[in-house]
Structure 1
């Protein structure tokens, strides 16, 4: 499996990252420890910290700061998941009950805040002005993505452009800064830092596009979340936008009504329309375009096993089924 072979290249770095995360999440409050332990052991792919570690190694990083920042990226990602699941009222993630289902919304939000706080503590400790600046600008941008998605819930008139504005903020930005930070720690070459930033941005867009395609095309066993969850949350993602663009009459009305009411009672029929309009193929093809742009950005970076691993990661992101 490609992801395992990519991980093996930086396995020591990943283990160090996990150890560092555990060391920085010490809390005297048992509930905090319980929630964090549960969330961190629920089988995430660790793709974002992997991007940071590989980006740093591809540019010959020396030292340990890439470990600290990989941990920060994972902590921010985990915090956003805790908050997202509360906002979306999700019950399942990665095949496990969500933290809010077990401990309640209040606990999930507050533990998410705790993770954010710890992440910024680590960034400040690194004492690197550019790194601090990148984080300070990125975190409100990521929060804006979630807010934009929230205010646009149950809106069947969502455009493709608006959809991309949302996913650039809520998903691609963290990938973008992961690659950018790996480069920033390792080189002063503006061209190399920009190449890595662009790589991360396009990889993140491809990642979210495939996530949204999988929501309509894979079973709960494959993805670890409920099929058609997006429509029951009133989220208008690219497969649905494309299906509506290609439909008219009763089919179009059915989809518009499902989004407006946030119901999945006609899910089987909607899945049929999505299939017949090639909406999954369209979304996957768009993801492949971004994966290709990610790989093109890497052409500015010298060839190495680490650059090769980033290219392979681009392929994995668009070929995955979970």
Structure 2
């Protein structure tokens, strides 16, 4: 890739959406969806039934779209991106199934979670099935580099989820420690989804690094926004229960900032609710009020904006194109989304 950095000339809309990226890769997503449907099949009827419940529940499929959009950005004209995008979606879906069991969640994208409908055992095992399908797709691609990137991402995600358990209820968790956790459990799959496009397009290390940086920073921004709106949105808007992180004792950045900035009474409140898990009626509303007073949600969203800009900056090495504009707008949408 040419070492020159291109001057950004793309106009960024004031109300961004992922519609531009969706339109750009619509035909490609049909091929990805076909692969997903084929690989979900099993003579064990419960497997496609349960997996299909989550996959068909209205998610935007942002991660596989990033694989397809990155391939378009590089002008790749082959077909390997279809199976790899399906692989990325399977990894993501498997982690969602496992997460809902671990967290005891009852809503996902506005619908009952699989663990509520089919139970924890079936949900975990179908998640395992989807992980296995993902690895089949990696191997079939035939690239050891692709296999290394995606398998390492899958392992890091699992490690990140376990790592998050160690911070639950731990008010000594720092912002740096929190970032380590969200990079592991969220950002690495965003990064891998983009990075593999450079491998199949046979581009140089600088191109691969740029796409990895775009995806990683986008993933960090995405999780920061998720954690912020857990204290600043509603179940109707979010498609999941508001305040889930608070109820589960998760030390996300809003809580970390609120505790660090709080007075003695506020810190005592966080110790009672997040460490001892001693909850009383109105505690979540009080948590939201403290967050507002200490600018915890506002500053979390400011950090998300910073990482969103870093993601966009990583694309500066690529010439302007429809794909670049779509990826930039996807980053802006990630920071500004309402859910």
Q: TM-score range by the shorter chain?
A: over 0.9
Counterpart selection for 2:300 from 278, 283, 299: 283
Question: After superposition, where does 1:54-69 map in structure 2 within 5 Å?
Answer: 54-69=69-84
In structure 2, what is the Cα distance between the partners aligned to 1:263 and 1:48?
A: 37
| Deviation of 1:263 (Å) | 5.4
**In structure 2, which of residues 234, 240, 252 is the aligned counterpart of residue 225 of structure 1?**
240
Post-superposition shift, 1:148?
0.4
> Is it true that 1:314 corresponds to 2:325 in the alignment?
no
Tell me which residue corresponds to 1:163: 178
Moved more, 170-179 or 294-303: 294-303
Equivalent residue number for residue 246 of structure 1: 261
C-alpha distance in structure 2 between counterparts of 1:94 and 1:148, whole Å? 25
* 8 A Cα contact 2:84 2:138, kept in partner: yes
Kept in 2: contact 1:79–1:112 (CA 8 A): yes
5+ residue gaps, structure 1, are none
Q: What is the TM-score when the length of structure 1 is the normalising length?
A: 0.98
Distance 2:300 2:64 in 1: 25
Match of 1:132 in 2: 147
Say whether the 8 Å CA contact 2:187–2:217 is kept in structure 1: yes
Query: Is 1:34–2:49 an aligned residue pair?
Result: yes
Q: Aligned residue pairs: how many?
A: 322
Tell me the equivalent position of 2:106.
91
- Mapping of 1:87-236 within 5 angstroms? 87-236=102-251
1:37: how far off? 1.4
Instruction: Give 5+ residue unaligned stretches, structure 2.
Output: 1-15
Q: Secondary structure of 1:281's partner?
A: helix
Higher relative contact order (CA 8 A, sep 6+): 2
Report the Cα distance in structure 2 between the residues aligned to 1:102 and 1:192, rounded to whole angstroms.
44
Change (3 A) 1:64 1:262: farther
Which whole-Å deviations, capped at 9, do the CAs of 1:16-72 have from their partners, x for residues lacking one? 111110011110011112101111111112111111110111001121100110000
Does structure 2 retain, via aligned residues, the 8 Å contact 1:231–1:262?
no
Contact 1:172 1:205 in 2 (8 A): yes
- More helix by percentage: 1
C-alpha distance in structure 1 between counterparts of 2:225 and 2:60, whole Å? 15
Which secondary structure state, in structure 1, belongs to the residue aligned with residue 271 of structure 2? helix
TM-score, length of structure 2 as denominator length: 0.93
Query: What SS does the corresponding residue of 2:231 show, helix, strand or coil?
Result: helix
Q: 8 Å contact 2:135–2:151 — kept in the other structure?
A: no
* Deviation of 1:256 (Å): 2.0
SS in 2 for 1:217: coil
Tell me how far apart the structure 2 counterparts of residues 207 and 262 of structure 1 sit (CA, whole Å).
27
CA shift digits 1:192-237 (9 cap, x unpaired):
1110000000000000000000100001000011111101111010
For residues 63-78 of structure 1, the aligned pairs below 5 Å read 63-78=78-93
Contact 2:18 2:326 in 1 (8 A): no
CA RMSD of aligned residues (A): 1.1
SS at match of 1:2: coil
Q: Could you say if the C-alpha distance between residues 263 and 192 of structure 1 is closer, same or farther in structure 2, counting changes exceeding 3 Å?
A: farther
- Give yes or no for contact 1:207–1:317 (8 Å, CA) kept in 2: yes
